[in-house]
Copies of this chain bind each other. A is one copy, B any other.
Amino acid sequence: MPSLADLIEQYIKKLIQESEDRVVEIQRNELAEKLRCVPSQINYVLATRFTLEHGYLIESRRGGGGYIRIIKIADQDREAFYQRIFGAIGDAVSESKAREIIKALYEAGSITEREKRLLTIAVDRKVLQVPLPYRDELRALLLKSMLAGVLNAEEGN
């Protein structure tokens, strides 16, 4: 039973995949109507799942002929992509944010499904049994270390 937000997310991602240039332009009201939700629900989804950290840019325009344009960032090279990922993790990261990052990596084809699962578990609060201010820091360090090890190993040897 995926939530409405999940459905909207999937729908938009499908549109982007089908697009030639990773850019998709929608009309908020029209999309809301098609997916049977209130228009502001679209904003919620964009705000929670299509942020810069997730690798997307949003441009929009109001008024007659208005639109929302969703752009999937094309990272120049792996470096830029990883830069963005590591920046998003920072010195401390919540479980949900970590999960989103891992998901993005998987969707970008940087890690396998098994690796995704491994990482997702490593980031679980039930596993990282440390009191809270430190847990997020430990999670950040752990995730960054693991990613650093596995990602830049690709090109080398």
- Pick from A11-19, A74-82, A84-92, A124-132 the stretch touching chain B: A124-132
Tell me the bound Cα distance from A2 to B3 in angstroms. 33
Q: How many residues of A contact B (CB 8 A)?
A: 40
The reply to whether B153 and A117 contact each other, CB–CB distance below 8 Å, is yes
Inside 8 A of A115's CB, which chain B residues have their CB?
Answer: 114-115, 118, 150
* Number of copies of chain A assembled together: 2
Inside 8 A of A113's CB, which chain B residues have their CB?
Answer: 153
> Looking across the interface, which residue of chain B has its beta carbon closest to that of A67?
B1
Interface 1/0 per residue, A96-120 and B, CB below 8 Å:
0000000000000000111101111
Contact residue among B67, B124, B128, B149 (Cβ-Cβ distance under 8 Å from A121): B149
Asked whether A142 is an interface residue with its Cβ less than 8 Å from the other chain, the reply is yes
Inside 8 A of A121's CB, which chain B residues have their CB?
Answer: 57, 145-146, 148-149
Interface 1/0 per residue, A37-62 and B, CB below 8 Å:
00000000000000000000110000
Inside 8 A of A150's CB, which chain B residues have their CB?
Answer: 114-115, 117-118
Contact residue among B127, B138, B148 (Cβ-Cβ distance under 8 Å from A145): B127
List 22 A-B pairs, Cβ < 8 Å: A1-B67, A3-B65, A5-B65, A58-B126, A112-B114, A114-B150, A114-B153, A117-B149, A118-B118, A118-B119, A118-B149, A118-B150, A120-B149, A121-B148, A122-B142, A127-B141, A127-B145, A128-B138, A129-B137, A129-B141, A130-B134, A130-B138
